[in-house]
Amino acid sequence: MTSKLERLRSNLQEYAAAMDRIYANFPGKYSSTQKLIVELGIGFDRKIKSSYIGEPRECHKNAFDVLMEYPKPELYYCEGFATYAEAIMPVYHAWLVNERGEIIDPTWHKQASFIEPAYIGVAFEREFVQIVAVETGIYGILENDRFRDFQIKRLGLAPEDLCPQFHPR
């Protein structure tokens, strides 16, 4: 694990611990998205150039659109937190990874974002991504959990919702 990934994970652990204290009486499994990512998240730090170029500040839509437009079985939709050398702080983000765990980010495609990339997140099964999008009418899964009665934060993710290549069952 690179030092950038270690720092990102440590930052998320601190934030998750603070949220646990604030929401000590939360009646579910995860008091925050950070806690879920700390527990289930996989670190990715190999970013490759891609021809997929999306709109700035539309990471969930960009990753979803690429996933649906190019239904290659070797692309996986991820959500979590990411940063790179010039970034001031970690950002909640969505991206894709290929079967080798290489980051394909249609939103952060400028050259600076390739310097010390650090992404920690969960890789979802394509079918789950589609189901949530249809149910909510919104791009994004974890931060839009409120539109599904906080189902993920209350109960967690089912093993079949996660990509087994990165999250063994």
In SS3 terms, the chain reads as CCHHHHHHHHHHHHHHHHHHHHCCCCCCCCCCHHHHHHHHCEEECCECCCCCCCCCCCHHHHHHHHHHHCCCCCCEEEEEEEECCCCCCCEEEEEEECCCCCEECCCCCCHHHHCCCEEEEEEECHHHHHHHHHHHCCCCCCCCHHHHCCHHHHHCCCHHHECCCCCCC
Q: Which residue range is the domain that position 80 belongs to?
A: 3-161
Residue 167 lies in a domain: no
Query: So what's the pLDDT on residue 28?
Result: 94
Query: So what's the pLDDT on residue 2?
Result: 74
Residue 168 lies in a domain: no
% pLDDT > 70, the chain? 99
The domain total for the chain is 1
Per-residue model confidence as pLDDT tens digits over 77-97: 999 999 999 888 899 999 999
pTM metric for this prediction: 0.95
pLDDT along the chain (169 residues), means of 10: 88 96 94 96 96 94 94 88 91 96 96 95 96 95 94 96 94
Residue 120 lies in a domain: yes
